[in-house]
Amino acid sequence: QVQLVESGGGLVQAGGSLRLSCAASGRTFSNYAMGWFRQAPGKEREFVATISWSGDIAYYTDSVKGRFTISRDNTKNTLYLQMNSLKPVDSAIYYCAAKSRGLSAQTTTYNYWGQGTQVTVSS
């Protein structure tokens, strides 16, 4: 089992920045690829970014490329999402997730999920 707890969400104006954190406990954090997903009201959960177990490979959905950066610190068992130039359309609950083996943008391939943290971007 892997337990994931997100933090760092909040209310920010358009153009601002937030850094989300996801603290992992349980099994060895570095054994897992990690991902960030988000879900806005009335919409399905969607992929944001994913990172390999070592942190040297990352992929992003097109809408956040150049604005968001996913990273991890395996010595601290923590995943991060730096979000810059935020837009109102980025408003959602953000979830971190862990999966064994390789990176993936598919929600169904992730084994463990956090409870989410709310991000609200005002115009």
What pLDDT, in 10s, does the model give residues 49-103?
999 999 999 999 999 999 999 999 999 999 999 999 999 999 999 999 999 988 9
Q: Which two tokens stand for residue 123?
A: 């115009």
pLDDT at 1 over 90: no
Which position has the token pair 């979830």? Answer: 95
C-alpha atoms less than 13 angstroms from C-alpha of 50 in its C-beta half-sphere = 20
Q: Which residues are registered as beta bridge partners of 97? A: 35, 113
pLDDT, averaged across the chain: 96
pLDDT at 107 over 90: yes
Give the pLDDT confidence score for residue 10 in this predicted structure: 97
Give the pLDDT confidence score for residue 27 in this predicted structure: 80
Are 90 and 81 in contact by the 8 Å Cβ rule? The answer is: no
Give the pLDDT confidence score for residue 37 in this predicted structure: 98
Which position has the token pair 């989410």? Answer: 116
Residue 48, judged by CB atoms within 10 A of its CB (0-12, 13-18, 19+), counts as buried
Give the pLDDT confidence score for residue 110 in this predicted structure: 97
